[in-house]
Amino acid sequence: MMPISSQSPAQPRAGAITTTRHLAAGGEVTAHRHDVHQIVYAGRGVLSVATDAGSWVAPPTRALWIPAGTVHRHRAHGRTVLHAVGIPADADPPAPERPAVLAVGPLLRELIIAYSRPELEGTDEGSRILAVLLDQLRHTPQQALHLPVGRDPRLVAVCELLRADPADRRTLAALGAAAGAGERTLTRLFAAELGMTFPQWRTQLRLHHALCLLAEDVPVTAVAHRCGWSSASAFIDVFRRAFGHTPGAHRADD
């Protein structure tokens, strides 16, 4: 594993794949890859992972699955406790072929935290915990929290406008005019390259941004405004449907 950047308060031990570490707000783990699968979980704070295919974000009720061989980088939002566990590349059940966000219930949470202690690596106790952890993964649903990136320069330009200001309420036609592309062309590109409609992608972007702001203790009403929702109640409704609880409950769990 490549070293944590200077924004992080501590260096991991060389080659650590299964480990627990503390990251300051804004702390990063630079681009790297593993020969095994990895589950990364934020027991506190919010963690995002980025690859060339897009980004994924996980609050404490979710974990990130990173397939073996995937070049990726992490970023902490808010003070974050990162738990990482290595999973054999040939483990059963078959792993997702790209990064994914996994729902984390109470048992899976405790298994990840317990197995992320480096001293358990190679021990009988560690093997027993891993066996139960793998069994739990067979019944763990994936969550649609992926924010894909496009390749076409016109699509990339529109997405960057919204990344710079998620509260931008311009229509796709208006954004396209600023990026030099027509609405019909952009609609086709969103479907072909990102696999979702423009409103779906913008909502996903806003939810990602909202999770990061909540981790930084920004008040819920301010988060709603900065992410482009017309009211706090509208934001709370979308957040609850996406994550199963309110932003206030999310903050309390953190």
pTM of the entire structure? Answer: 0.74
Write out pLDDT tens, residues 201-210.
999 999 999 9
Best CATH choice for the domain 19-143 from the list 3.30.450.40, 3.50.50.60, 3.40.50.920, 2.60.120.10 = 2.60.120.10
CATH architecture of 149-253: Orthogonal Bundle (1.10)
Residue 98: pLDDT band (50, 70, 90) is: confident
% pLDDT > 90, the chain: 39
Write out pLDDT tens, residues 42-51.
888 888 888 8
Higher pLDDT, 20 or 9: 20
Q: Which residue has the tokens 């996994």?
A: 102
Does the structure show a pLDDT above 80 at 96? no
Which pLDDT score, from 0 to 100, does residue 9 have? 32
Mean pLDDT of 132-137: 88
Which pLDDT score, from 0 to 100, does residue 144 have? 66
Average pLDDT, the chain: 84
Using CA atoms, how far apart are residues 229 and 55, in angstroms rounded to an integer? 22
Does the structure show a pLDDT above 70 at 93? no
Which pLDDT score, from 0 to 100, does residue 94 have? 54
Mean pLDDT of 12-25: 69
DSSP H or E run through 89? none
Residues with Cβ < 8 Å from 11, sequence gap 6 or more? 3, 4
| Domain range summary for the chain, segments of one domain joined by + | 19-143, 149-253
Residue 103 vs residues 64, 69, 253: alpha-carbon distances, Å: 9, 23, 15
Using CA atoms, how far apart are residues 239 and 254, in angstroms rounded to an integer? 16
Does the structure show a pLDDT above 60 at 2? no
CB 150 within 8 A of CB 189: yes
Mean pLDDT of 108-123: 88
Mean pLDDT of 145-160: 91
Write out pLDDT tens, residues 49-68.
888 888 888 888 888 889 88
Higher pLDDT, 17 or 133: 133
